[in-house]
Chains A and B, each alone.
Chain A
Amino acid sequence: MVRVTLDNVSKFFGKVKAVVDLNLEIRDGEFVALLGPSGCGKTTTLLMVAGIYKPTRGRILFDDEDVTDLPPKDRNIGMVFQSYALYPHMTVYDNIAFPLKLKKVPRQEIDRKVKEVAKLLQIDELLDRKPAQLSGGQRQRVALGRALVKEPDVLLLDEPLSNLDAKLRILMRAEIKRLQKELGITTIYVTHDQVEAMSMADKIAVMNKGRLQQYADPQTLYNKPANLFVAGFIGSPPMNLVEGNIVEENGTYYFVSSSFKYRLPSGVGELIASETSSVILGVRPEDIKIVLGDGDDNVISGTVYVVEPLGRDLLVNVKVGETLFKILAPADLKLEPGQSILLAPNEKRIHLFDRKTGRAVI
């Protein structure tokens, strides 16, 4: 097992800047997810760690060894591709044995290891089949087996679950996480699915347009997004974001948008006003309480636009002037479209972002 360090890594394809000045340290045995929308550079990053792409600038280190110029075969990595990339002309057994054959491992040992991995992944019944005769889930396991059989120092997974159906995906999510903890292999996992990243990874690196946005554990990412992009990308339904200004009236600070006015907690207002007055307010759907009738004085009044029952709770769409809020409410709440209600955001859980830079100010 190794520690993987990306030191100022950039990759350009002609004029396209796929990855720009990426700094990342993945500790020994850690499970790190690279998360971002398609085209954000996450797969490029993975292929650079694998040695398939050579960084345009910067260095990649395994422990303290510079592997930037090392070809993939000398890096001792295992990789699972989105398409699984099983060799169609080989049986499952040969697919899994292939990396060991290349290493010139003795035949008996290959046999033992292949069977061991097959058993671990519950594919020991399939060893004689060709990839074309397998289901998506089985192929995925074979690909995983091929990556694990050579006991790699680093395991790279490129959207391994995206070709599976929803049910199987949830199952394999837990399975891969357990396997990773059991084997303790340093793992980099690329995904565009924030739920996958949140549920599996020890740490998540959120990327956008080739740049690292935030690198933190899932809870920090959710509770303290570093910027607007992370705030909007993490969480489902996404965070409510409203543009507005900080205004001072008689020593009290308010957030004022085109459709409502909201009093900021004391202390917070001063802090922000000292930096900027043009901000974006962010509140997660579960951090707004719906108040029927009279509430306290610091509320926003709106009308119910549409109610989406999600089973466990309700997703209420509320119109406040021109702004649409999405709010998670208890399932037993009775609401009708057009009904006037009051919204009470949780003061402690509001986010404010600088409108110019997008950076979080609190």
Chain B
Amino acid sequence: MARESLRKRKTKALLRRAAVVAVILLVAVIPAIPIWMMYGWLVSQSFSGRVILGILPSKLTLDNWRFLWSPIKMGEKEYPNIWPITMNTLFLALGVAGLVVMVSSLSGYALSRMDFKGRTGMMQFIIALHAFPSVILLIALFVILNKLGLYGKGFMTLVGIVLIKAGLEIPMATWIIKGFFDAIPWDLEWAALVDGCSRWRVWRSVILPLVLPGIGAVSIFSFLSGWSEFLLVFTYVAQEEYYTLPVMIYHMIGEFIHIDWGMLAALGLFYAIPTIIFFSVSQKVLLRIYVGGVKG
């Protein structure tokens, strides 16, 4: 008897497992297939002259990557060299990330730890601020850029865009980092004050090292949002040599007649590389989130 019921139970467990696997397949794996196929196409297209059945590469070549060492020509039109464009993009992304981290790590601390009038109101306001997409601000921002003398000034326009983008990112980043500061017990801060720190030194030597995962998270998100920024650059940058990668890729897609799919795929992959590197490096930092004092 006992053995039979055991067998029954085993079958039941097996069925339950099968059901779980089926659900996972249905929800997580199958929907991901088209996405992976697209990435697969991107990779195989970029390295081959011709693609069979949309995914199998044939005639392996590096010809599609020629934009790395020679001027980009598509049809009649010659595009600027890829490297200055990449540097522009990097400048935008790093500028945004740097500015966001600098401001939000201070403002997040203030909102988390300091008592001042209008603190709650300010926090609500921050959330509300984030509700505005940058597209509805385009005209107002144009006026401001123009007044500041940053419009149509080549590189300085990019600086202006860094300021705008950082400004749009800071509210959310502040909010995220505030959560990390909140998790640090007051005891630690008090201990540092007693040990001889000024408030500023406490922030620098004790609190900041403990919110590194938060800073990591914020810098990744703001870097990526700077790296992929399209609308602001597309709208405000007129000269080709100050384009960023997304804008250049956009212009190339616009080239209907002479479009070179192989090169476009390679360019897309090239554009995704920093994102991939950034994610694979920072993932560990993000997962290692341990904030808080040590309790016995």
Q: Which residues of A line the B interface, CB within 8 A?
A: 47, 50-52, 71-73, 77-79, 81-89, 98-99, 102-103, 131-132, 134-137, 139-140, 146, 150, 156, 163-164
Whether B196 and A150, one on each chain, are in contact in the complex, defined by CB atoms closer than 8 angstroms, is yes
Q: Which of A79, A102, A163 touches B197 (beta carbons < 8 Å)?
A: A102
Enumerate chain B residues within 8 angstroms of A137, measured Cβ to Cβ: 296
Sample 18 A-B pairs with CB under 8 A, ordered by A number. A50-B193, A50-B194, A52-B193, A71-B193, A72-B194, A73-B193, A82-B187, A83-B295, A85-B190, A86-B293, A88-B292, A98-B192, A102-B195, A102-B196, A134-B294, A146-B195, A163-B296, A164-B296
Q: Which of B279-296 contact A (CB under 8 A)?
A: 290, 292-296
Complex Cα–Cα for A47 and B292 (A): 21
The reply to whether A47 and B190 contact each other, CB–CB distance below 8 Å, is yes
Give the Cβ gap from B120 to chain A, nearest Cβ, in Å. Answer: 15
B296 touches A139 (CB 8 A): yes
Provide the residues of chain B in CB contact with A78, threshold 8 Å.
Answer: 194
Given contacts A89-B209, A131-B294, A139-B294, contact A83 B196 (CB under 8 A): no
Cβ of B201 within 8 Å of any chain A Cβ, yes or no, is yes
B18 at the interface (CB under 8 A from A): no
Binding site for A on B (CB under 8 A): 185, 187-188, 190-198, 201, 205-206, 209-210, 290, 292-296
CB pair B295 A87 closer than 8 Å: no
- For A150, the chain B residues whose CB sits under 8 A away are 195-196
Pick the contact of A102 from B201, B209, B290, B295 — CB < 8 Å? Answer: B201
| Interface pair B187/A52, CB less than 8 Å apart | no
Evaluate contact between B296 and A77: CB separation under 8 angstroms: no
For B194, the chain A residues whose CB sits under 8 A away are: 50-52, 72-73, 77-79, 156
B295 touches A81 (CB 8 A): no
The majority secondary structure among interface residues of chain B is: helix
The listed residue (A47, A71, A83, A88) touching B210 by CB distance below 8 A is: A88
* A136 vs B296: C-alpha distance when bound (angstroms): 4
- Chain B residue nearest to A53 (CB atoms) is B190
Please give, as numbers and ranges, the residues of chain A lying within 8 Å of B296 by CB-CB distance: 83-84, 135-137, 139-140, 163-164
Q: How far is the CA of A103 from the CA of B197 in the complex (A)?
A: 9
B198 touches A85 (CB 8 A): no
- Asked if A79 and B191 make an inter-chain contact with CB atoms under 8 angstroms apart, the answer reads yes
Given contacts A88-B293, A137-B296, 8 further A-B contacts (CB under 8 A): A50-B193, A52-B194, A72-B190, A79-B194, A81-B190, A84-B294, A85-B185, A85-B190
Contact B196 A99 (CB under 8 A): yes
With A83-B185, A85-B190: A73-B294 Cβ-Cβ less than 8 Å: no
Question: Min CB distance, A85 to chain B, in Å?
Answer: 4
- In this complex, the member of B192, B196, B197, B290 whose beta carbon has the largest number of chain A beta carbons within 10 angstroms is B196
Q: Which residues in B have their C-beta under 8 angstroms from that of A52?
A: 190, 193-194
Interchain nearest-CB distance for A238 vs B (Å): 29
A87 touches B188 (CB 8 A): yes
Q: Measured between C-beta atoms, what is the minimum distance from A45 to chain B in Å?
A: 14
* Cα A99 to Cα B293 with chains together (Å): 18
Determine the chain B residues whose CB is within 8 A of the CB of A102 once the complex forms: 195-197, 201
Give the CA-CA distance A150 to B195 in the complex, in Å: 9
Contact B196 A103 (CB under 8 A): yes
**Inter-subunit contact A132/B294 (CB<8 Å):** yes
Chain A neighbourhood of B197, CB < 8 A:
73, 102
State in angstroms the CA–CA spacing of A79 and B189 once bound together.
Answer: 12
Roughly how many angstroms separate A51 CA and B195 CA in the complex, as a whole number? 12
Query: B196 — nearest CB in chain A belongs to which residue?
Result: A102
Give the docked Cα–Cα distance between A85 and B205 (Å).
Answer: 14
Residue pair A83, B195 in contact (C-beta under 8 Å): no
Q: How far apart sit A83 and B188, CA to CA, in the bound complex (Å)?
A: 9
**Which of chain A's residues have a CB closer than 8 A to the CB of B201?**
102
CB distance from A130 to the nearest CB of B (A): 9
Q: Provide the residues of chain A in CB contact with B192, threshold 8 Å.
A: 87, 98
- For B293, list chain A residues within 8 Å (CB): 83-86, 88
6 nearest CB pairs, A to B: A136-B296, A102-B196, A163-B296, A85-B191, A85-B187, A99-B195
Q: Is the CB of B190 within 8 A of A50?
A: yes
CA of A81 to CA of B295, assembled, Å: 11
Chain A residues near B187: list those with CB within 8 A.
Answer: 81-83, 85
* Residue of A73, A103, A131, A132 contacting most chain B CB atoms (<10 Å): A73
Q: A87-B206, A132-B294 are in contact. Are A81 and B191 (CB under 8 A)?
A: yes
How many angstroms between the C-alpha atoms of A77 and B206 in the bound complex? Answer: 19
Would A163 and B190 be within 8 Å (CB), given that A85-B185, A102-B195, A102-B201 are in contact? no
Cα distance, A136 to B295, chains bound together (Å): 8
> What's the Cα separation between A73 and B195 when bound, in Å?
6
Residue from B191, B206, B295 having most chain A Cβ neighbours under 10 A: B191
